[in-house]
């Protein structure tokens, strides 16, 4: 499976914002706080950005935040253009409803990359059936849970009885390590300060 192997912190510096690719570590030990400039010898001297550059950075910011390669992201965009909803919002909603993102939002992984690994390793069930496809699109009413045989693993056992903050469209029980999709996400549920109209403008050129 193809994946982005670029250093996480360099990706944040390149996009000019924290993408939280390392989870809680981004709140404490973060190189972006120390060097908030573009990587490279002349990074600190680059100031003027074209309209195309602004659109490109916004597209790459979202793509990297959700851990997708360019081809994968383009496929999502093409699907969004066929939606009856606004293209930008349809794109973001599909990204939020990916199983790996939902596992991350439920607090089962400290980052989206860890959540993707959890799904790939077959630790997650959807409606009682094992699903190991990170891009699986969850639906309202779906029940996402950690497999009974995996709940004794340290990464999951440590969550038992703790308090986890989840978006209002999800609910999660740390006692049973089971979550449920209560509703579709709304625009204000998505953080990162995304300007999706710039992504649409980029692909519409």
pLDDT in tens, 148-159: 999 999 999 999
Q: Is the pLDDT of residue 122 over 70?
A: yes
CA–centroid distance for 163 within its chain: 21
Residue 29 half-sphere exposure toward CB, CA atoms < 13 A = 2
Residue 95 and residue 59: Cα distance in Å, rounded?
A: 13
Residue whose entry in the numeric block shows the structure tokens 């690719």 = 21
Q: Could you tell me what percent of the chain has a pLDDT over 70?
A: 77
Handedness of CA 53, 12, 195, 46 (dihedral sign): negative
Please check the confidence at residue 15 and state whether its pLDDT lies above 80: no
pLDDT confidence tier of residue 138, bands split at 50, 70 and 90: very high
Q: Which pLDDT band, with edges at 50, 70 and 90, does 47 fall under?
A: low
Under 8 Å between Cβ of 116 and 159: no
Q: Which residue has the higher pLDDT, 135 or 22?
A: 135
pLDDT mean across residues, the chain: 85
For residue 146, count CB atoms less than 10 angstroms from its CB and return exposed for 0-12, middle for 13-18, buried for 19 or more: buried
Strands 124-126 and 170-173: unpaired
């Amino acid at each position: 499976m193809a994946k982005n192997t670029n250093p996480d912190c360099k990706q944040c510096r390149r996009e000019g914002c924290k993408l939280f690719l390392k989870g809680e570590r981004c709140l404490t030990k973060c190189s972006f706080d120390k060097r908030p400039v573009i990587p490279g010898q002349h990074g600190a001297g680059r100031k003027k950005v074209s309209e195309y550059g602004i659109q490109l950075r916004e597209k790459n910011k979202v793509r990297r935040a959700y851990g997708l390669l360019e081809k994968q992201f383009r496929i999502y965009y093409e699907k969004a253009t066929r939606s009856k909803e606004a293209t930008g919002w349809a794109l973001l909603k599909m990204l939020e409803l990916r199983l790996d993102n939902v596992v991350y939002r439920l607090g089962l992984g400290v980052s989206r990359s860890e959540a993707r690994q959890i799904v790939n390793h077959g630790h997650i069930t959807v409606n009682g059936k094992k699903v190991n496809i990170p891009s699986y699109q969850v639906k309202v009413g779906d029940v996402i849970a950690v497999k009974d045989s995996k709940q004794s693993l340290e990464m999951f056992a440590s969550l038992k009885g703790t308090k986890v903050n989840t978006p209002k469209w999800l609910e999660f029980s740390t006692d049973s390590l089971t979550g449920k999709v209560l509703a579709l996400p709304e625009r204000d549920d998505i953080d990162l300060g995304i300007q999706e109209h710039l992504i649409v403008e980029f692909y519409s050129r």
